[in-house]
Structure 1
Amino acid sequence: MSETGDLLSTLPPDLSEVEVGALLAQHYGLRGVLKRLTSERDLNLRLEDDQRRYVVKFANCAEPRGVTDFQTAALVHLEGKGLPVPQVVRTGSGATEVETPAGLMRVLTYLEGMPLHLAPKTAAQRAGMGEMAARISHGLQWLDHPGADHVLQWDIRQASSLRPHLPHVPDDLRALCTATLDHFDAEVFPRLAACRWQVVHNDLNPHNVLVDEADPDRISGVLDFGDMVRTALVCDLGVAASYQVDPDKPLESLVEFTANYHRILPLTEQELRLVADLTMARMLTTISITSWRAAKYPNNAPYILRNFPLARAGLLALSALHRDAVSKALLRACPME
């Protein structure tokens, strides 16, 4: 089983608020009110003291130490780059992480804003998401870490490993998901090796992005670097785009998003020709993994399936388009330098 498979099958750490509070006071000198946050695989809490808020994270015991350290290293790497991402809070001795019996503990600054999934959707917001996705990828360029090459089931290039999960996909979607995966294996995966590779965020879904409450078109925060991996750069674009496709106008919305990404971080012709297929592959990934996990953990199904409806609608909409027509539209909207 992949690291992600172990993680998704292992319950998060279990500590009481009193125990967490004692660790915070001991290592960080922080005290305040703690509130548990929803998470699939880690234990996350919000700490609020008299002056500011923090996020307290305890890594899943199934997550290798190198992967957790990779996430911390990425946030440190992004410091000073003008990006709206959490900052790593140091302990009293200057450490970025603390080893505890319950798992590796980290404290991050808390970003204020409205979760993107609660905000009204607009073309301007979609354009802002395209730009932000490119800025995050640009900021992560040159990051090198031993944990970057771990096997992650949410990495689009690992889509072939999803076949065992297809029986859990609803009957009316299974044939489409199978056909999408067949096309990926035959036509998409072999072309990824020739693309640019780097560390990417890999999870710009609407629950990991914040917008300004007064101006929901402005992206104010990017959260959760837990799915980072080194992969083809354009795979990350496919991830972010999969949540920005409007099922009522799939071609227009995909082109808008990609063109704004391209304006910040120019894509090659080869990468542009892969955008639609990789976007569909991410939708397939979301549908397959969440269907499997919802069957395995029915009590947590509403949370697990939170992105399922959007992925379903998007995959149905994009699959109705002719691939060549989509590629031509993307190439017209994204001129080469």
Structure 2
Amino acid sequence: MHSPHQPSPPTAAEIDDEASDLPGAAVLNAPPAPFALDQAQALLLQHYGLQAQFSPLSGERDANFLVTPEHGPRAMLKISHPLESPLVADFQTQALRYLAQSDPSLPVQRLWPTLEGADAVLLPCPGGQTRVMRLFSYLEGLPMPQAPRSAAQRASVAQALARLDRALAGLQHPASTLALPWDIQYAHRARGLLRHVPDPARRALAARALDAFETQALPRLAGLRRQAIHNDFNIYNLLVDPAAPERLSGILDLGDMVHAPLVDDLAVAASYQIEVERDALGTIADFCAAYHTVLPLQSAELQVLPALIRARLAMVVAISGWRAARQPDNAPYLLRNNPISWARLQALDGLDPAHASALLHQACDLPLPSL
């Protein structure tokens, strides 16, 4: 018999139904689509004229390989998931081409053309699906989760994001308006997934964050400046210089790009930089100030930022909990970021919007809006 305080385990059908409002939920729960190493090697030789050693790289959806030629720099071969539309892959491709023109010094990957000069190769799959194969430069560096953290590093991350956002401004693509599951604009649609949080206090904590989003941010999003954004500037997508870990040396994974309010990009990045051991809001303020030195923020953006950050954290625990319920064998991996996300949600719980707005305006040296 179940405790009245604990929800009964949902059926598989109920689990799927709970995510019916979440954009693009099917892609999140698609099983991995591996690709045979010898077949990838043959395709590399056929389309790029390269013979190289191959080793698999981790990837949540795509099949990725580290390519080490006998001569020349290393590269990464990426073969997209069959469920990902070639249009979405092309958005990432065109973004890299755009960045190569708008800010060539940004530490992002570069595309290697095929022997025919194409950016990608379309691979037909059984069932009429298509996989997109592309070859990228390989970025060297130390993954940020393995590096010591510091205030200087956080400032470097914020300024790099601002440079990236500034360089992406003006990019247009048909895929940019497709709804994605990790788009903060749809944070409220993840509310039903909180059923998979077993602790009632934690469920309520995440629900309060979504309440704040719906009342403090959602009504204002339509009036904010919008553009193509990275949308996943988390520490697992960043590399640092091993000899100077405070310096960002690589930006990875444009797979969650979307056209959205610019401040959403800052909210995602800031949510991964909060130090719960000290003043959480102060960490956010410092991060904003560093971003603001490169790409000035607007008062309206600062007013919604805290609610957006809390919404992103609520999405992390809600979506990962739901995915773990559908993929129990992979639950430890899917829930790996939850402890720190819960701690950050708790640190921001009960945040006074007026106080937060005042502190962020002060950090960016902007006047408070008149009432």
Band of TM-score, shorter chain: over 0.9
Distance, in Å, in 2 between the alignment partners of 1:334 and 1:148 is 29
Match of 2:178 among 150, 171, 180: 150
* Distance of aligned partners of 1:3 and 1:100 in 2 relative to their CA distance in 1, 3 Å threshold: farther
Match of 1:323 among 338, 345, 353: 353
Match of 1:85 among 105, 108, 124: 108
Distance, in Å, in 2 between the alignment partners of 1:283 and 1:34 is 36
Quick check: 114-123 or 100-109, which moved more? 100-109
Are 2:187 and 1:159 equivalent residues in the alignment?
Answer: yes
Aligned to 1:107: 135
Report if the CA contact (8 A) 2:216-2:304 is conserved.
Answer: no
Distance, in Å, in 2 between the alignment partners of 1:229 and 1:6 is 17
Match of 1:68 among 65, 73, 89: 89
Matched letter for residue 131 of structure 1: Q
Once the two structures are superposed, residues 95-134 of structure 1 have per-residue CA deviations (whole angstroms, 9 ceiling, x without a partner) of 0010113511111111000111111110000111110111
Aligned to 1:245: 274
Aligned to 2:51: 31
Matched letter for residue 32 of structure 1: A
| Alpha-carbon distance, 1:303 to partner | 2.6
TM-score w.r.t. length of structure 2: 0.88
Distance, in Å, in 2 between the alignment partners of 1:223 and 1:303 is 20
TM-score w.r.t. length of structure 1: 0.96
Distance, in Å, in 2 between the alignment partners of 1:3 and 1:273 is 26
Once the two structures are superposed, residues 241-283 of structure 1 have per-residue CA deviations (whole angstroms, 9 ceiling, x without a partner) of 0000101220221111010001111111110111111111111
Which has the larger Rg? 2
Are 2:156 and 1:128 equivalent residues in the alignment?
Answer: yes
Aligned to 2:214: 185
Aligned to 1:209: 238
Aligned to 1:141: 169
Report if the CA contact (8 A) 1:202-1:227 is conserved.
Answer: yes
| Alpha-carbon distance, 1:186 to partner | 2.4
Quick check: 316-325 or 117-126, which moved more? 316-325
| Alpha-carbon distance, 1:3 to partner | 5.5
Report if the CA contact (8 A) 1:276-1:326 is conserved.
Answer: yes
Are 2:117 and 1:94 equivalent residues in the alignment?
Answer: yes
Aligned to 1:297: 327
**Backbone CA RMSD of aligned residues:** 1.4
Partner SS for 2:223: coil
**Superposed, which structure 2 residues align to 1:35-54 within 5 Å?**
35-50=55-70, 51-54=72-75
| Alpha-carbon distance, 1:320 to partner | 4.4
Report if the CA contact (8 A) 1:141-1:198 is conserved.
Answer: yes
Distance, in Å, in 2 between the alignment partners of 1:331 and 1:123 is 20
Report if the CA contact (8 A) 1:58-1:105 is conserved.
Answer: yes
Matched letter for residue 283 of structure 1: L
Are 2:292 and 1:262 equivalent residues in the alignment?
Answer: yes
Quick check: 183-192 or 229-238, which moved more? 183-192
Distance, in Å, in 1 between the alignment partners of 2:281 and 2:150 is 15
Report if the CA contact (8 A) 1:115-1:211 is conserved.
Answer: yes
Distance, in Å, in 1 between the alignment partners of 2:216 and 2:351 is 17
| Alpha-carbon distance, 1:305 to partner | 2.3
Aligned to 1:194: 223
Quick check: 97-106 or 259-268, which moved more? 97-106
Matched letter for residue 138 of structure 2: Y
Aligned to 2:11: none
Distance, in Å, in 2 between the alignment partners of 1:3 and 1:89 is 32
Matched letter for residue 5 of structure 1: A
Distance, in Å, in 1 between the alignment partners of 2:133 and 2:33 is 11
Partner SS for 1:216: strand
| Alpha-carbon distance, 1:313 to partner | 1.4
Report if the CA contact (8 A) 1:3-1:63 is conserved.
Answer: no
Quick check: 180-189 or 64-73, which moved more? 180-189
Quick check: 255-264 or 28-37, which moved more? 28-37
